[in-house]
Amino acid sequence: MDTSSSPYALIFACLLCTMMFDAGTCNFNNRCSKKDTQTLLNFKKGVMDPSGVLSSWSTQQDCCEWRGVKCDRINSRVTRLSLPCFTSIPNYIDKEDKSHCLTGTFSLSLLMELEFLNYLDLRNNDFLAIQFDSVHNQNYYNLSVSIRPPQYLNSSTLRYLDLSLNDNLVINSLQFLFRMSSLEYLYISGVDLHKETNWLQIVTMLPSLSVLRMSYCQLKDLNPSLQHANFTALKILHLSGNKFHSELPKWLFNISCGLSGIFLSSCSLTGQLPKALLNLQHLEDLDLENNDLNGSIPDWIGELDHLQYLFVDGNMFSGFIPKSLGNLSSLTSLSVGDNQFTGVVSERNFAKMSKLKNLDIYSSPPLIFDFDSHWIPPFQLENLWLSFSGPHLPAWLYTQRSIQGLSIYGSSFQAPDKFWNFVSRVSKLSLEYNSIDGNLSNILLNSTVVNLSSNGLKGSLPRLSSNVAIVRLSNKSLSGSISQLLCDHKMLNGKSNLVYLDISLNHLSGDLTSCWEKWKSLIHVNLGSNNLTGKIPISMGVLSNLASLHLHENKLYGEIPPSLQNCQILIFNVRENNFTGNIPNWIPHAAKALQLRSNHFSGNIPEQICQMSSLFILDIADNTISGRVPTCLCNITALVVNNASHREYSTTLQYNFSNRSFYFFKESLELVVKGLVLEYDNNLKFMNLIDMSSNNLSGTIPVQMFSLFGLCSLNLSHNKLTGKIPNEIGNMKNLESLDFSVNQFSGEIPQAMSKLTFLGYLNLSFNNLTGNIPSGTQLQGFDELSYTGNSDLCGPPLTKVCFKLSDDKFKDRKPINEDGDESEFFPWFHIGLKSGFVAGFLGVFCVILLNKKWREAYVKSLNDLRDRLCVLVVNNINSFC
C-alpha cells in the first residue's frame, strides 16, 4: 500500500520536520483556504481604507501573505489578523491624526467565519460601528434578568480580541461576546459602552477570561453591593477612567482565581480601603490613584507580601504613612503623593524595600523628614518625587546613583554646588514651586528636561549643554541679558537639541539678541513679562520649526519682521508692547491664536485672517486699527463649530523622550473675558474669542459674523460702529460674554438676544439704543450698568418705564377721553396744576429767604445735593472707563 500521498504521511512528515528542524522551515506550499480568502475580501469590501492598508489583499497573492494576516503552517488556515493603526501626536493639532486608519463599519460576525482565527487586533483605528448580525436585535437592560448566551451560536476559537482606542466607536451591547467562549484577552478601552448596563454579568460568562481592559469606556455602574462576580480565570482587571461614583465593590475582594492586578484610577471612587483587600493574597499591582478615597492607609497593608506596584496618590488619605509599608519587600513602585498625610517619615518606612525603583512621596503641607544622616537606603531609585519640611535635602539622596527623574515640589532648601553636580546626571529635573537658596549664574544645566520655575533662585541665566531639550526658568528673580544663555556657542559645539524655552516673568533686560542660528530646533519660545527692548531681530526667521512665540509685556517696538513667515507660528502673542505698522498678513493659515492687543498697530484688518480656519483666539484690542469688520470672518471654521472638546492637542507641545511620549506642555494666554483679565491654560482649548475693542473700527457689524456659532466671547466695545444689532445674534448659542459698549449702535435690542442662555456678561452701555429691553430672565437679569448711557432705552432692569402702543412704537402717551379722542379737559387741567405749583413754590421760597436759619439750611442742603450728584457722576464715569 502506497502511503506517500495519504493524510497520515503528511502528518508524519510535518511532525518529523517539526522535531528535527525549526517549525518555521516546515512549508508544504499549501495555499490559503478559499473560504478564508473570500471572508477576508468581504471584510475588505465592508470597511473604508483611505491609505491602502489592505492594498495587498487581492487574489493575485495568497491570503497568508497579505498584510496583517498569519496562517497556520500546517493547514494554511487564517489564525491571526493584526491591523492596528499606528499614529503619532504632532504638536498643536486639534486631535490625533487618524486619517490614514481603517474606518467605517466592520462586520465582526463575518470575521467569526474564520474558523481557526484565535487572534484579532484592530486597535487604534477609527471604526464607527460594529455589525454582529446574529445578536444584533437582542438587548438586555434589567440587571435582575438572568442573561444567558443564545444556545444556537457556534463558539469561535478566538482567544485574543483588541478593539481598544477606536475613539469614535460606540457599542450598545456586548452580547457578541457570547460567541467567544474561548476568549482569554479582551482589550476594549476607549470604546463608548455607556449604553451597556450589563457589562459585568456578560464578561463573567467568559470562563477563560484572564485579562480584561475596559478603561475609559464611560461605564457607570460598578455594582458595589454585588457580593460575587463569577470570574473563574481573571488575573488582570483594568477599569480606570470610568466615573463609577461608588465605593470599592464587594465582589472585587471575593474573586478567588488569583487576581494579580487591579487598575481603578480616576474612577471617582469613595470610601476607605476595606480589610477584605487581604483576601487577594496574590495581588501584585494595585492602582487606585486620582480618586476620592479617604481615611488612613491601614497597617495591614504591609501584609500584601506579593505587592509590587502600589499607587494611591491623588486621593484624600490622611494620618500617618504607616511604617508597615517598609515590610513590602517586593515593592518596586510606591506612589502616595498628593494626599493629606501628616507626621514624620523616616528610614523605618522603607526598611525592607530593596527592590524599590520609583517613589512618589509628595504631600502638601510637606511631611517631616527624620532620616538618620548616615542612613544608606537598601534601594537604588530611578525616579523620585518628593516634598519635605526642613532646610536641608535628605542626605541619602546623594547615595542614589541610578536616578533618572527627580522632582522636588513645595519645599525649602539650600542648593550648594554639590547639589548641582548631582542633578547634572539626572535626565528629568523638576524643582518647581520651591524656595531654593541658590544662584544660577555659573551653573551648567545638563538634564534633558529642566523645570526650575517659580522658586527663589537668583542671578543671571545659566548655561545649557547640548543635551537640554526643555528648559523652564519662569517666574523667578533672574536678571541680565538673554545673550548669556543664547550666545554661548562654545558650550554647544555647533549643535542644540533645545525645543522648549521659557524664561518669562523675570527681570531680564537688553535686546532679543541675534544669536538664534544655533537654536533651529526650537518649537516654543516664551520671553514674556521681562524688560526686553528693541526690535524683533530678522535672525529669528531662521527658527523654521518655531510654532509658539510669546513676547508679551516687554518694551519691544518697530514692525513685525516679514522674516518670521519662515517659521510655522501657530501661537503668536506680542500683547502689551509698542509694536507699530499693519497687522502682518503672512501669519500661517494653520494659526490657532493671534494676540496683538495693547500695541500701536494701525491700518485695516487684513482679509488673510479669514483664511486661518483653525484660529480660535483673535485678540487685536487696544490698537489704532480702522476700517470695517471683515465680512469673511465666517470662513474661520474653528469659530463656526463648537469643537472645543475635540481640540485636545491644539495648545499642547509634546516631547518624545527616549522613543516614548514623555512631556506635554500646555499653552497659556491672558485674555479679557467678562470684563476681567483671566489666565487661560488648561482651559484655553475651550475658549473661542474675538476681541477687537478699543480701536477705530467703523461701519456696521456684518451679519456674517453672527454665523460664528462656536464663539464664546465677543468684544467690539469702544469703536465707532453704527447701525442696528442684527437679529441673527440669537444664533450664537454658545456666547458667554458680549460687549458692544461705547459705540453708536441704534435701534432696538433684538428679541433674539433673550435666547442666549449661556450669556453671563453683557455690556450695551453708551450707545443710541431705543425701546424696551426684551422681556425674559436672560436680559433682564443683568443690572442697570449693562444698559446705561442709552437715553431712549427703557424697561427692566432700568427704572424708566416705556409705554407701548398698538403700533409697537415707544413714545409719550397722550391722555384720551371715554370716546377714544384726545380730551381738551386734561391740557387745561395741567395748565392750572402747573400755575398753582409755581405760585406755591414762590411763596415758600420767599419765606426761606426772609428767615436766616432756614436760608442757611436750604443752602447747605443744595450743597449736599450737589456733592452727591458729583460722586454719582464720577462713579459712573469710572465704571465705564
Contact between 383 and 358 (Cβ < 8 Å): yes
pLDDT at 682: 84
Beta-sheet strand order (sheet of 294-295): 294-295, 316-319, 340-341
pLDDT of residue 522: 94
d(CA 697, CA 684): 27
Position 47, amino acid: V
Identify the sign of the CA torsion 178, 183, 184, 189.
negative
Distance CA(615)–CA(623), nearest Å, equals 20
Give 312-370 pLDDT, tens digit per residue. Answer: 999 999 999 999 999 999 999 999 999 999 999 999 999 999 999 999 998 888 888 99
pLDDT at position 778? 80
Tell me which amino acid residue 251 is. W
Closest of 342, 350, 402 to residue 371, by C-alpha: 350
Q: What is the pLDDT of residue 780?
A: 86
Containing H/E element for 219? Answer: none
- In this structure, the strands spanning 744-748 and 720-724 are parallel
Which stretches of the chain score pLDDT less than 50? Answer: 1-25, 27-28, 134-153, 661, 807-881
Cα-Cα end-to-end distance for the chain: 109
**pLDDT (0 to 100) of residue 488:** 78
**130 touches 173 (CB < 8 A):** no
C-alpha dihedral sign at 631, 635, 638, 641 = positive
The pLDDT assigned to 839 comes to 46
Q: What pLDDT is stored for residue 697 in this prediction?
A: 97
pLDDT at position 496 is: 85
Question: Ramachandran region of residue 117, left (φ > 0), alpha (ψ -120 to 50) or beta?
Answer: beta
The confidence score (pLDDT) of residue 49 equals 96
Cβ count near 439 (within 10 Å) = 14
User: Quick one: how far is CA 374 from the chain centroid?
Assistant: 45
